[in-house]
Amino acid sequence: MIKPIYSPSQDRYEKIFYRKCGDSGLKLPILSLGMWHNFGNHDSFENATEIATTAFDNGITHFDLANNYGPPYGSAEENFGRILKQNFLPYRDELLISSKAGYDMWPGPYGIGGSRKYIISSCDQSLKRMGLEYVDIFYSHRFDPETPLEETVLALDQLVKSGKALYIGISRYDPDQTEKAVQLFKELKTPFIIHQCRYSLLDRSPEEGVFDKLAEHKKGAIVFSPLAQGMLTNKYLNGIPEKSRMANENKIHLNKEQLTDNVLYKVKALNEMAVSRGQTLAQMSLAWLVRNESVTSVLVGASRKEQLLDSIGCLNNIEFSSEELNKIDQIVL
């Protein structure tokens, strides 16, 4: 039997809204799909495909990757390339596809950092893995203190001028680094439009300067880890489940020490608020981000279709009273 060609939902653009990215002409869906986890070769390709198509069926047009997403490194891009070829190819111009370079990718001194050699080579490899001629956004994944920022910026500018990327972004840059990058890109007239930063109810560090810089220069912000690696869900309210990511010692980005008594107190208090609003804790946590005009888009991950649909459900209630916002601040600050 011939597998039917994927046909997206006809009303997909009625299910979500889009926010302008700074002063650029580009709009991002308020929720974007992050492929940091669950899209590598160690994961189910069928499940990954179902998550990606569910996202697009609900108007999520932005798919965010990086060169070393997997595991193993590169496999998330390879698998997304397969998903693209099998399902999304007729809709390429409806998609925003991003990738990044900055962290370790291949052995030796040229497989990490912000050098011209690494940035350009990494983008070329990413395009090959995904079967693309260009990405819509290419990021410097991190500031590299061992490379002059001018070198990194010029390499990113070349990616645009050579047609390999339409827009440029930076990720994890502090306010001073962001200011310097903005000025360098401005001199070159590079279409630098967005900063990707960690932001959630449990990590509000971008409020300490980064958001102010982006607002000053009219740049967008896309935030990752909006659920604090799962701590802002119902998963850990009653302890650490055996099969959770926190229970897995191999998950270097989330460990038991992060779930302190203080954090657990905050999570439980926030959960009580979510229940009173008729939302899951995850939905309220995402809604709190969505309501913030400083946020262009929120990167959500998902291990299954149902989890993604629950996240999308946050859009049903994104209004907060001043009393609710004050109570949230009292809990988390």
* Angle between helix 116-130 and helix 149-161 axes, rounded to 10 deg: 40
Give me the pLDDT at residue 63, please: 98
Give me the pLDDT at residue 26, please: 98
Give me the pLDDT at residue 318, please: 98
Q: What span, in angstroms and rounded, lies between the C-alpha atoms of 128 and 143?
A: 25
Evaluate the omega torsion of the peptide bond into residue 241 and state whether it is cis, within 30 degrees of 0: no
Give me the pLDDT at residue 242, please: 61
Q: What is the pLDDT of residues 257-282, one digit of tens each?
A: 778 889 999 999 999 999 999 999 99
Give me the pLDDT at residue 235, please: 87
Give me the pLDDT at residue 236, please: 86
Over the chain, what HEC string results?
Answer: CCCCCCCCCCCHHHCCCEEECCCCCCEEECEEEECCCCCCCCCCHHHHHHHHHHHHHCCCCEEECCCCCCCCCCHHHHHHHHHHHHHHHHHHHHCEEEEEECCCCCCCCCCCCCCHHHHHHHHHHHHHHHCCCCEEEEEECCCCCCCCHHHHHHHHHHHHHCCCEEEEEEECCCHHHHHHHHHHHHHHCCCEEEEEEECECCECHHHHCHHHHHHHHCCEEEEECCCHHHCCCHHHCCCCCCCCCCCCCCCCCCCHHHCCHHHHHHHHHHHHHHHHCCCCHHHHHHHHHHCCCCCCEEEECCCCHHHHHHHHHHHHCCCCCHHHHHHHHHHHC
Q: Cβ distance 160 to 166 under 8 Å?
A: yes
Give me the pLDDT at residue 160, please: 98
- What residues in the chain have per-residue pLDDT under 70? 1-4, 239-256
Q: What is the pLDDT of residues 124-168, one digit of tens each?
A: 999 999 999 999 999 999 999 999 999 999 999 999 999 999 999
Domains in the chain, please, with CATH? Answer: 17-229+289-303 (3.20.20.100)
Q: Cβ distance 190 to 157 under 8 Å?
A: yes
Amino acid occupying residue 206? P
Give me the pLDDT at residue 247, please: 52
Residues 6+ apart with CB under 8 A from 274: 280, 281, 283, 284, 285
Q: What is the pLDDT of residues 196-211, one digit of tens each?
A: 999 999 999 999 999 9
Q: What span, in angstroms and rounded, lies between the C-alpha atoms of 145 and 173?
A: 11
Joined together, the tokens standing for residue 77 give 């891009």
Give me the pLDDT at residue 258, please: 76
